[in-house]
Each structure stands twice: as C-alpha cells, then as structure tokens.
C-alpha cells in the first residue's frame, strides 16, 4: 500500500477541463494543419494572430526605472495606482464613491486574485456563494480552494433578460439557510455569455441585497467587471450601473474586481485589484485587515512593473489619451468580429445567447459530445454545461463564416 503524500483536504484536486490546456492543444494542431480554428482562450488578438498589445504600455514599460521594475511592491500598492484604478473603474461616479462611501483598494494578482481572496475571507468554510448558472469555470477552483461551494440560479428569464426573480428567491433562501449572503455577478459582458445587465436590472439587484441585509444577515456583493471596457457601449454608459450603488444599505459590502489583464492586455503581469466599498467604516476596516493579510500570506505582493505601468498611464494625460485611442482600436476589432458572427448565425439559423459585449459569445447545445465532434473538424471551443463558448477576442474574422457552419453542423 502506497503512502498518502497529499493532504486529505487536497485529494479532490484535479484539473478536468483546463481552458489553457485546451488552448495549447489547439496551438499544437495549428502547426500541423492549416484549417484549425482556435476559439478558446480569452485574449485579444490582431487579425494576424499576434496578441493585441498597447504601444503606450510597451513604451511606459521600457521607461520604468530599476526601482520601479525590480523592487518588491508594497502590499497596498502606491496611492497613485489605487486612486487611478478608482477613477478609471467608476469614471463620473468616482466622486460619488469618495463622498458617500468608505473604500479601500487592495492590489491583487489579476482579477483572479481578487476573487480568490474574497471567496476565502468573506464566507465560513462549507458555506455557498451564489452566482448564475452560466459562469467562468475557474470560479469553482477558487471556491474549492477557499473551502466553500457554489450555488446557482437560472441566469435568464423567459424574455432572455437577467432573471431577477430567480436571483431574489435564491438569495433569500441561501441567506436564511446559512446566515450570510455572498453573491458574485460578472457584469457587464458576462463570461461566458456576453450578457449585459442594464441599470434597471441593477436597481432590482440592489433592492434584493438590501432586503437580505434588513433581515439581519451579512451581505457581500462580488462584482466582477473584467470586461467592462469591452461592452459595446461608450465608456460613460458602461459605468452607469454604478449609480445604483448609492442605494446600498450601510452594512452591505461591495467588492468590485478590476482586471489589468483585460483592460491593458497585461495578461502575464497578473495585476488586478479588490475595491472594497461600504458606507460602514467598520466593514471597510475589516475588509482591509483581512485583505492585506491574504495578499501577504498567499502571494506576497503584486507585480511592481505591472502596477507602475498602469499607474503612469492613469496619471499622465498624454499616456492616458494614447491608451484610450488604442483601446478604441481594440474595441472595434471585437465589435467587427461580433457583428459578423451574429450575421452568420442569423443566416444559418444558429441560436445564440444574447450578446452585448466582451470576449465571448455562447451557443446553446444539446450535443453532449460537442467538444469532441468539433475537435474532429479541427475546431476548438470551450464546452460548458449546455453551451459552447466562442472566444471571438482571438478569432480572425476570416475564420468566422466557416466556424458558424461547423458549429451548426454539430450543434
């Protein structure tokens, strides 16, 4: 009998469907066959297949001093970085956040680090986090690492809108069962569906959170905004959902998750932030206390050069203007691909879930072997529950007509 080297709590750990591994397989196949279509990993690419990088990011990275590049970063980051993140994320609502709320911003290893830390610190072991039934699969990894579980509700109502009725029922039920509500909403431009909730949806969400709070339960909203800069709206309109925050009850904690990976194409630098917001100073003091501890205890600190690049761009008008110009180029790439995909889907009578922005479009399927069937046709997608996720972010526009035909063939 062999000795058990792994701790009993880690016996369940096995990556059964790893998006990055599937992407590597697709890349390997592309070296052998010319007709491989890779619609897997959510990174923005040019039409020629190169990663979409921002020249201003490159320029600022090359001008960093040795101190800005090689030194350890402070756990809390520089104030210019954190305040710059606040301004960028909330835009015209930043002053409202500063005036009406207490807040704290903790740099993390990407948006993933922010979510992982929040899962770990704001639930008791064995409790559940509430989220829609369509979600980014690594959330489950973060949950299991934090010794918590996921509870889902149907994302869509009968009109293919956000299902506020199902959300309310699930939120109240879970809060009463476990004495706490921790809920994650990935919006706008949900991964994997591309759904965008509107301001009216968020008004109703805030009402539900307040209703649970008034029953005497702690309430934590985890708002993952990774794709906010790629919603098919102008920046000012993509941020209007934050106006609804002003109606949050005093003790509710909102944790807004910022991703430097998506907004700056700095995927490998692993820069993000937890933005803790509450009208209660005590809530924010606790958010900061446990957040600082977990950053130090789990990944020490965040990439110094990564934070400094973003810091310089947010705090230099010339750099920021260049960045905004380049961002519009990236948004147009995405918009053109989405428009063609939607057009081809309509022409081939291929049903898709409602899309309003982000890196992904999802197609419902009843074929349990859809991944393998498409793979035989040299098409790589991500199969998730009863949908397949198409990463239009890295998909050349020339591949889209053939991709739609092959999906329709196997769906």
pLDDT band of residue 31 (cuts 50, 70, 90) is: confident
Average of per-residue pLDDT values in the chain: 93
Answer whether residue 34 shows pLDDT above 90: no
H helical segments located in 215-279:
235-238, 260-264
Dump pLDDT digits (tens) for 155-186: 999 999 999 999 999 999 999 999 999 999 99
Mean pLDDT, to the nearest integer, of 279-293? 96
Looking at residue 1, its pLDDT comes to: 54
Q: What is the pLDDT of residue 23?
A: 82
Longest CA–CA separation in the chain, Å:
66
Q: CB-hemisphere CA count at 13 Å for 146?
A: 26
Q: Which of 135, 18, 133, 30 is nearest to 371 (CA)?
A: 18
Q: Predicted confidence band at 11 (pLDDT cuts at 50, 70, 90)?
A: confident
How far are the Cα atoms of 86, 187, 228, 243, 247 from residue 96, in angstroms, in the given order?
A: 11, 20, 19, 8, 12
64 class by beta-carbon count within 10 Å (0-12 exposed, 13-18 middle, 19+ buried): middle
Kindly state the DSSP code that residue 51 receives in the 8-state scheme.
B
Across the range 244-271, mean pLDDT stands at 95
Residue 105 pairs with which residues in a beta bridge? Answer: 275
Q: Which CATH class is domain 72-317?
A: alpha beta
Torsion of CA 352, 238, 267, 118, to 10 degrees: -100
Question: What is the per-residue pLDDT for 87?
Answer: 96
| pLDDT tens string 94-108 | 999 999 999 999 999
Tell which residue, 253, 266, 263, 249, has the closest CA to residue 223.
253
Residue 406 host element (H or E): helix 400-410
Rounded Cα–Cα distance for residues 188 and 232 (Å): 10
pLDDT at residue 19, rounded to an integer: 75
Q: pLDDT tier at 236 (50, 70, 90 boundaries)?
A: low
State how far the Cα of 190 lies from the Cα of 155, in Å rounded to an integer: 11
Residues 6+ apart with CB under 8 A from 310: 81, 84, 85, 260, 264, 266, 271
> φ, ψ for residue 125 (rounded to 5)?
-55, 135
- Give the residue from 397, 405, 374 showing the smallest Cα distance to 26: 374
Is the pLDDT at 301 greater than 90? The verdict is no
Separation of CA 218 from chain center: 24
pTM listed for this prediction: 0.94
What's the rounded Cα separation, in Å, for the pair 383 and 364?
10
Structure-token pair, residue 120: 């770990």
pLDDT at 16: 67
Lowest mean pLDDT among 14-28, 50-64, 98-112, 130-144: 14-28
pLDDT of residue 41: 82
In CATH, what class is 8-53+320-410? alpha beta
| Crossing angle of the two packed helices 110-121 and 281-298, in degrees rounded to 10 | 120
% of the chain beyond a pLDDT of 70 = 99
Lowest mean pLDDT among 67-76, 119-128, 331-340: 67-76
Average pLDDT, stretch 55-83?
94
94 SS3 class: helix
Q: Can you say how many angstroms the Cα of residue 377 is from the centroid of all Cα atoms in its chain?
A: 30
80: pLDDT strictly greater than 70? yes
Burial class of residue 83 (count of CB atoms within 10 Å of its CB; 0-12, 13-18, 19+): middle
Model confidence band, residue 238 (pLDDT cutoffs 50, 70, 90): confident
Distance between CA 347 and CA 361 in Å, rounded? 16
Q: What pLDDT does residue 392 have?
A: 96
Query: Cα 351 to the chain's mean position, in Å?
Result: 24
Confidence at residue 102, expressed as pLDDT on a 0 to 100 scale: 98
- For residue 145, what are the CA distances in angstroms to 19, 119, 125, 405? 18, 9, 10, 40
Confidence category of residue 313, pLDDT binned at 50, 70, 90: very high
> How much is the pLDDT for 208?
98
Residue 27 has a pLDDT of: 84
Q: Where are the domains of the chain?
A: 8-53+320-410, 72-317
Residue 205 near residue 164 (C-beta atoms within 8 A): yes
233 confidence band (pLDDT: 50, 70, 90): confident
Give residue 124's pLDDT.
Answer: 95
- The reply to whether 72-317 shares the fold of 8-53+320-410 is no
Which helix or strand (DSSP H or E) is residue 58 part of? helix 55-63
């Amino acid at each position: 009998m062999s000795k058990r080297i792994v701790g009993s709590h880690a016996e369940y750990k096995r990556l059964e469907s790893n998006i990055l591994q599937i992407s590597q397989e697709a890349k390997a196949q592309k070296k052998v066959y010319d007709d491989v279509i890779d619609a897997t990993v959510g990174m923005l690419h040019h039409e020629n297949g190169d990663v979409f990088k921002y020249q201003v990011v490159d320029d600022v990275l090359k001008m960093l001093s040795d101190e800005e590049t090689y030194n350890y970063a402070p756990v809390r980051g520089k104030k210019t970085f954190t305040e710059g993140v606040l301004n960028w994320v909330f835009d015209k609502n930043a002053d409202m956040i500063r005036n009406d709320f207490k807040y704290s911003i903790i740099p993390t290893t990407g948006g993933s680090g922010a979510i992982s830390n929040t899962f770990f610190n704001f639930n008791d072991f064995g409790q559940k986090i509430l989220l829609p039934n369509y979600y980014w699969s690594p959330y489950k990894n973060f949950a299991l690492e934090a010794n918590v579980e996921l509870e889902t509700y149907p994302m869509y109502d009968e009109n293919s809108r956000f299902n506020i009725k199902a959300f309310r029922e699930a939120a109240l039920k879970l809060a009463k069962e476990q004495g706490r509500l921790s809920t994650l909403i990935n919006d706008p431009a949900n991964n994997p569906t591309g759904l965008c909730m509107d301001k009216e949806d968020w008004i109703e969400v805030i009402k539900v959170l307040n209703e649970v709070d008034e029953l005497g339960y702690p309430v934590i909203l985890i708002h993952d905004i990774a794709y906010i800069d790629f919603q098919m709206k102008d920046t000012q309109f993509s941020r209007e959902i934050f106006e609804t925050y002003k109606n949050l009850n005093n003790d509710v904690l909102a944790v807004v998750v910022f991703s430097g990976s998506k907004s700056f194409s700095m995927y490998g630098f692993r820069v993000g932030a937890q933005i803790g917001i509450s009208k209660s100073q005590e809530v924010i003091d606790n958010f900061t206390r446990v957040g600082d501890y977990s950053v130090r205890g789990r990944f020490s600190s965040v990439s110094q050069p990564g934070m400094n690049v973003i810091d310089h761009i947010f705090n230099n008008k010339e750099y920021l203007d260049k960045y905004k110009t380049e961002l519009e180029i990236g948004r147009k790439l995405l918009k053109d691909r989405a428009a063609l995909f939607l057009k081809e889907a309509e022409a081939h009578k291929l049903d898709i879930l409602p899309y309003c922005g982000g890196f992904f479009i999802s197609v419902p399927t009843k074929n349990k072997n859809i991944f393998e069937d498409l793979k035989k046709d040299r098409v790589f997608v991500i199969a998730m529950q009863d949908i397949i996720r198409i990463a239009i972010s890295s998909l050349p526009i020339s591949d889209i007509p053939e991709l739609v035909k092959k999906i329709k063939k196997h769906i």
